[in-house]
């Protein structure tokens, strides 16, 4: 609703709108990353009666792109380490989105 309140005629209002859009995108990304990491942990560790799946961290790795491309079998020899590194990549992405929103907000 706040996105529709600012007109796009003014340059400052356009920056404010883009800042708010990035803020909402950041919140949605963080929520999606937390859910994905929780489901991956359930699959990796066999919690809640779910069968153990070593590939359960792959969706978390996809959300961590492009940083998760650097995760190799040498860096992550176990699925647990893969999940931790993919979680770090998702955190970097969330931080970058939040940083862009803050930089656009201005004074």
Percent of the chain with pLDDT over 90: 43
Q: The tokens 């930089």 sit on which residue? A: 103
Contacts of 89 (CB under 8 A, 6+ apart): 61, 63, 64, 65, 67, 68, 71
The string of DSSP letters for 9-55 reads: SSHHHHHHHHHHHHHHHHHHHHHHHHHHHHHHHHHHHTGGGPPP-TT
d(CA 103, CA 14): 14
Average pLDDT, rounded, for the chain: 85
Q: What is the mean pLDDT of residues 74-92?
A: 91
pLDDT at 104: 84
CA dihedral 6, 9, 10, 15 (to 10 degrees): 60
pLDDT higher than threshold 60 for residue 3: no
Category of 8 on φ-ψ map: left (φ > 0), alpha (ψ -120 to 50) or beta: alpha
pLDDT higher than threshold 70 for residue 9: no
The 10s digit of each residue's pLDDT in 39-71 is 999 998 888 777 888 888 899 999 999 998 998
pTM of the model: 0.80
pLDDT at 7: 58
């Amino acid at each position: 609703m706040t996105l529709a309140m600012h007109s796009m005629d003014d340059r400052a209002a356009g920056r404010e709108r883009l800042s708010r859009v990035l803020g909402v995108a950041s919140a949605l990304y963080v929520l999606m990353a937390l859910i994905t990491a929780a489901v991956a942990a359930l699959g990796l560790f066999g919690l809640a009666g779910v069968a153990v799946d070593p590939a359960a961290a792959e969706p978390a790795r996809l959300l961590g792109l492009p940083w998760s491309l650097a995760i190799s079998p040498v860096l992550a020899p176990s699925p647990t380490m893969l999940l931790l590194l993919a979680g770090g990549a998702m955190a970097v992405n969330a931080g970058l989105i939040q940083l862009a929103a803050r930089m656009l907000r201005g004074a």
